[in-house]
Structures are given as C-alpha cells and as structure tokens.
Chain A
Amino acid sequence: MSIPLGHYLMLSGLLFAIGLGGALTRKNAIIVLIGIEIMFNAGILNLIAFWHYKEFAVLTAQMFAIFSISIAAAESAIGLALVIAVYRYYKSVDVDEMASLKG
C-alpha cells in the first residue's frame, strides 16, 4: 500500500479538529463527550500510523494504543455518570445552564 504517512497524519488532524469543533460548539453535554471520544480516536489513529510507517518492529505503540483505548472508555464512563448526576439536579443537560460557578 503506497499511502504516505502524511495523509494519515492529515486525516487524524482533521478528525481531531472535527471532534474539537463539536466539543466546543454544541450545547448538549453528551455531544461534548462524543466530541471528546472522537478526539481520542484521532490521536490513537495518529499513534498507530506512526507505528506502521516508522518503527513496526517494536510494539510499544500498540501498548500505548491499548492503554489509551481502555482509559478513554473509563473516562467516558465517569463523564456520563457525571452527566446523569448533573441532570438529576439541573433537570437538563444543557451546558449553558450549568453556570453556577460563574463570576
């Protein structure tokens, strides 16, 4: 396969930016968490692309990828539990309304 490394890096950069845009723009807290998951996946794709093109004899990058995937899953579990707890108090998942720490 003759795809240069640069194309993979640009793809993962683009996906990261899409996830970032979603996390910064939307009002619903669950979409923010979805954007964070997209950012995680873009980063891990970057890692595996470098593993494939630069140093595929050493499996350190795959270890990093396994740990990152597991930690991302744990983080999304905690994040969603927080969203559920906050929903019980504010009765909505709108991040603009969760402003009681402001100013």
Chain B
Amino acid sequence: MDIAFWIISVITAVGALLAVTLRNLVHCVLSLILFFLGIAAHYFLLRADFIAAVQILIYIGAVVVLILFAIMLTRNVTGTEGPREILGGKWWSGSMTAALIAAILCWAVSVDKAAMVAPAGAQAKSSVLQIGKILIADWVVPFEVMGVLLTAALIGAVVIALEEVRRRR
C-alpha cells in the first residue's frame, strides 16, 4: 500500500510542476486537472472520503471550467497561445524564493524525529453522517456565513465581469 503513496505523490508533483511551467495555457489547465486528481487520491488514501469527493466535484467540476472560460474570454487578439516570453521580469528572485521555502519546510519537517516515524495503531475513519451532524449542530454559524459569502462572490463576479457592457450603453 505504500507504493500507492509514492506513485500518487509523483503524479501530483509532476502535475503541479507542469501546471506552472508549460507554455500553452490549455495544457497547463490539463496538468492542473491531473494535480487535483492526485490530491483527491491522497484524500482517499488518508480516509477522508467526503473531502475527496468534494474536491473532485468543486475543483475539477467547477474551478477548472471557470479557468477554461477565463482563458477563452481573454485570448490575445492576435490569436497566438500566449506571449513569447512566458516569464515575467526578475523571475529568478521568485523561483529562488520558492526553492528556499521548499528547502526550509523540508528541513523543518525532517528535524522533528517524531513525525518521521511510521505510526502504528487505529486507522482513521470518518462518516458523512457525522460530518452532517456537526455541520448543522456545532458549525452552523460558519456554514451560514459561507452561504452569504458565496452569494456575495457570485453577485460580485457577475457585476465585475459585466461592467463594460453597462458602461457602453
């Protein structure tokens, strides 16, 4: 079963790396889909089934479609895939920062001896019934606030993207 972790981790990391390095935007989104699938597989390995299904439903079902629509609506007028030079100015400081952060995080985790030992004992499990119960009982206020937030985001996104049409009239 350990081999599953390594295979899925490699797929996830490769997906994330390709998503930020490829030149063609639609290919970036395709590797982003691979990344999201890898993360969902990790959630299944960690016995968080509901979160895995929610990840596939929300990220691959909705966020990827959103990104694809945005790519379609913001194509360059010349019709090429993207600017010739894909890196912004001073790109070396950005990548050095990212590499430094990766090194520091990995070092900080490897120093902690207790975290590097394989655990023994009971397996985690979660049930959707429990999640539903505490969502309505303990976490009802954040739940309602999230509903208001999503409504505000919906209305805001529509207003921002529609602005030009109103101004032209």
**B-binding residues in A (CB < 8 A):** 1-11, 13-28, 30-31, 33-35, 37-38, 41, 44-45, 48-49, 51-53, 56, 59, 62-63, 65-67, 69-78, 80-85, 87-88, 91-96
Q: Which residue of A lies closest to B1 (CB)?
A: A1
What DSSP secondary structure best describes chain A's contact surface?
helix
Determine how close the nearest CB of chain B comes to the CB of A44; give it in whole angstroms: 8
A69 in contact with B58 given A30-B70, A48-B51, A81-B156 (CB within 8 Å): yes
Least distance between A1 CB and chain B CB atoms (Å): 5
- Could you tell me the distance between the alpha carbons of A24 and B94 in the complex, rounded to whole angstroms? 5
Closest residue to B117 on the A side, CB-wise? A4
CA of A82 to CA of B162, assembled, Å:
11
In contact, B149 and A74 (Cβ under 8 angstroms)? yes
Would A15 and B29 count as touching, CB distance under 8 A?
Answer: no
Closest to A17 in B: B102
The one of B55, B106, B112 that contacts A69, using a Cβ cutoff of 8 Å:
B55
In the bound complex, CA of A23 to CA of B161 (Å): 23
Known: A81-B156, A96-B89. A73 touches B16 (CB 8 A): no
Number of A-B pairs, beta carbon distance below 8 Å: 245
Assuming A15-B16, A27-B83, is B98 touching A4 (CB within 8 A)? no
* B19 and A22 form a contact (CB under 8 A): yes
The chain A residue sitting closest to B5, CB to CB, is A3
With A and B bound together, what is the CA distance between A35 and B94 in angstroms? 12
Complex formed: what's the CA distance from A69 to B46 in Å? 17
Inter-chain CA distance A70–B147, complex, in Å, is: 10
Q: Are B126 and A18 in contact (CB under 8 A)?
A: no
Q: Given that A14-B102, A52-B124 are known contacts, is A74 also in contact with B150, CB under 8 Å in the complex?
A: yes
CB neighbours (8 Å) of B134 from chain A are: 59, 63
Residues of B within 8 A of A53 (CB): 119
A73 to B160, CA, bound (A): 17
Beyond A2-B119, A59-B134, A69-B58, 5 additional contacts (C-beta under 8 Å) are: A1-B45, A23-B94, A25-B88, A59-B131, A81-B158
A72 to B42, CA, bound (A): 19
Nearest B-chain residue to A58, judged by Cβ: B134
Measured CB to CB, the nearest residue on chain B to A15 is: B16
> When A6-B115, A10-B105, A34-B29 are in contact, do A62 and B51 touch as well, CB less than 8 Å?
yes
